[in-house]
Amino acid sequence: MTLRAEAHAKVNLHLGVGPLREDGFHELLTVFQSLSLRSVVELHSSPREDSPGPDTAVSSLEVTGLSARMVPTDSSNLAWRAVDAVARAVGVEPSDLPESARLRIQKGIPVAGGMAGGSADAAAALLLAREWLSESCGAPRLDDHALEELAAELGSDVPFTLRGGTMLGRGRGEKLTPVLSRGPWWWVLALADGGLSTPVAFRKLDDLRAAGNLPEPALDSSAVVQALASGDPRRLAEAIHNDLEPAALSVRPDLRRTLHCGAESGALAGIVSGSGPTCAFLCSDEAHAQAVAADIADAGVARLTLVASAPSGGAALLPADAD
Ligand code: C5P
């Protein structure tokens, strides 16, 4: 059996970071939107003999596409963990399964870029595992609510990548409420060399705050919510905000040049995407986005520039032979 699923990148239009909680996470108030950039994950099942161990339903993982070499191909990969999480949740011991799963991820989302690339892989893998275990292995089918709970356990952005669209996120970012958005919106993504670890960016923010160097957390997202409903990119450009940006710029000062270059190129607004280091530039339409992307590429301040529209949908199963 071969199954395929896609899931999309995200950009945070508002990222307000509250205090550090006792569980090591920060309380967030965020508005995120899914982008047309996506990863496609395939699950090929075969007789169980080729599985590497009794504790996992996955026999191997192959990664191709954008920065594939930076992605782990063992059981630490979030997509691999997602498959085993579904098996455990439906009460299946991997060693009792008649089959095991080979995973193949085609990355179309920058790795460690602040765009939920790993979370998207996990969201797609959750859908694949539910389908495979119920259709091919005779296991009970997990309901949507249980799948969303597993998503939140795997990572703060996995529930959003599962649902997609435009959402307000609270808690760690896993408590979601849909937000009205009159798009489409056009973005240029400027990818940086290397990644930026999410915990490092959050820790840096705590340090900067402890030193008294930053304004109060931005825990009001109403400007972004109203701008999204208006459909006016200039209004949205004035409203977008990221509390993590000073921390990301402190760890990666080179990103200032990228942001400056986007502003010079006429982007309506530029922002570090999530915890970075990808920078996202809002443009007025597709032609404007192509022109800004070309300028940023010419200036040599990004490893790669991509144009994306938003919002896109959530994780979804694809026909097995789709592109
Ligand atoms: O949930 P996720 O695995 O993406 O989080 C990675 C790390 O990012 C956490 O261990 C934590 O250090 C930081 N984080 C945080 N507050 C959040 C989300 C993530 O401090 N709301």
> Is 233 touching ligand 1 by the criterion CB < 6 Å?
no
| Structural domain boundaries in the chain | 2-177, 185-310
> Is 160 touching ligand 1 by the criterion CB < 6 Å?
no
pLDDT tens digits for range 10-59: 999 999 999 999 999 999 999 999 999 999 999 999 888 655 677 899 99
Residue 277 pLDDT class (50, 70, 90 cuts)? very high
> Is 203 touching ligand 1 by the criterion CB < 6 Å?
no
107 is catalytic: no
Q: Whole-angstrom Cα distance, residue 259 to residue 240?
A: 14
Ligand 1 centre distance from Cα of residue 26 (Å): 7
* Token pair in block for residue 200: 């490092």
Active-site pick, 84, 121, 157, 295: 157
Domain boundaries 2-177, corresponding CATH code:
3.30.230.10
CB atoms within 10 A of CB 290: 15
CB atoms within 10 A of CB 203: 14
- Can you give the pTM of this predicted structure? 0.95
**115 known member of a binding site:** yes
Sheet containing 185-191: order of strands: 269-272, 279-283, 185-191, 304-310
Q: Which atom of ligand 1 has the smallest separation from the CA of 26?
A: 16
Q: Which atom of ligand 1 has the smallest separation from the CA of 172?
A: 21
10 is catalytic: yes
pLDDT at residue 322, as a whole number? 57
pLDDT over 90 at 255, yes or no:
yes
pLDDT over 60 at 323, yes or no:
no
Ligand 1 centre distance from Cα of residue 274 (Å): 11
pLDDT tens digits for range 99-110: 999 999 999 998
> Is 277 touching ligand 1 by the criterion CB < 6 Å?
no
**173 known member of a binding site:** no
185-310: CATH topology: Alpha-Beta Plaits (3.30.70)
Residue closest by Cα to atom 15 of ligand 1: 25
Comparing 2-177 with 185-310, is the CATH topology the same?
Answer: no
pLDDT at residue 50, as a whole number? 58
Cα dihedral angle (204, 118, 303, 183), rounded to 10 degrees? Answer: -100
DSSP 49: G
> Is 26 touching ligand 1 by the criterion CB < 6 Å?
yes
Q: Which atom of ligand 1 has the smallest separation from the CA of 199?
A: 12
Ligand 1 centre distance from Cα of residue 202 (Å): 8
Ligand 1 centre distance from Cα of residue 221 (Å): 20
| Full DSSP string of 69-138 | GGS--STTSHHHHHHHHHHHHTT--GGG-SEEEEEEEEE-S-TTSSS-HHHHHHHHHHHHHHHHHHHTS-
> Is 25 touching ligand 1 by the criterion CB < 6 Å?
yes
